[in-house]
Amino acid sequence: MRTRLFTYAIGLAATLAILGLIVATRILAEAGRPEVVVLQEVEVIDASQLPPPPPPPPPENPADQPPPPVALPELQITQDLAMPALPVADVPLDPRLSVDTFALDASVAELPAEAPPKVVAKPAPRPVNPAPVVRPDAPMSLKQLDGKPRLIFSPKVRFPLDAPRSMRSGQVLVRVIIDTNGKSSLHSVVRSSHPAFVDAAKRIANGARFTPPQAGGKKVKAIMLWPITINR
């Protein structure tokens, strides 16, 4: 048992000695290593080569500066002047003086009576849509009729010989009057596509027949525009 303890003690001492030798060796190695110094190049600039400093800012425009304050006049305190004394008459008053009496029951003049207000007669109301005044024998327009008259008969006419050969048809706008029996008569020629068709259109307007025009269920005369077409 003692031998083993002695052996362990010797081994531990040897281990510690080896560790101490290693540490001492590293310390000596670090102490003998030379120190490295890094040098940096510094550029020297001549002060004469530097650009001149910027000029100072211009002074402020006096017009932009606010005007100086206006001096106010000094107020002077004046002494309040007393009002002048009014003269007093040295006349003794006699309480025994007589005073004339006056009446308070004076009659008041009567005011004139107001005139009664004038009555203005109101104008008679006008009808909203007054009916047009139509003579019994005057023809009525299509707007006044119950309906548009319908063509029943139209006389046949020959195509005008003096019409241009290039025209296959012609049109004449006429104004006709239709009586209570439906017979039409020419009132006037409004326009024509060619003068050659006017005579033929007049013969048609004076010989055509329509259904009798009516207004309010009664037969009346009527006037209307009628476009007449004449074909070749």
What are the pLDDT digits (tens) for 144-201?
999 999 999 999 999 988 888 888 899 999 999 999 999 999 999 999 999 999 999 9
Q: What is the pTM of this model?
A: 0.42
Q: What mean pLDDT comes out for the span 1-15? A: 75
- What confidence tens digit (pLDDT) does each residue in 100-135 have? 554 555 455 566 667 777 777 777 777 665 555 556
Q: Looking at domain 142-231, which CATH architecture does it have?
A: 2-Layer Sandwich (3.30)
Residue ranges per structural domain of the chain: 142-231
Residue range 31-73, pLDDT digits in tens: 666 666 666 666 666 666 667 777 777 766 656 667 777 777 6
Rounded to 5 degrees, what angle do the CA atoms 191, 207, 157 make? 70
The arithmetic mean of pLDDT across residues 26-35, rounded, is 68
Beta strands in the chain (DSSP E): 151-153, 169-178, 184-192, 209-210, 214-215, 218-219, 222-231
Tokens of 86: 């009014």
Per-position b or e across 164-201, b if 16+ CB within 10 A of its CB: eeeeeebebebebbbbeebbbebbeeeebeeebbeebb
Tell me the C-alpha distance between 201 and 226, whole Å: 10
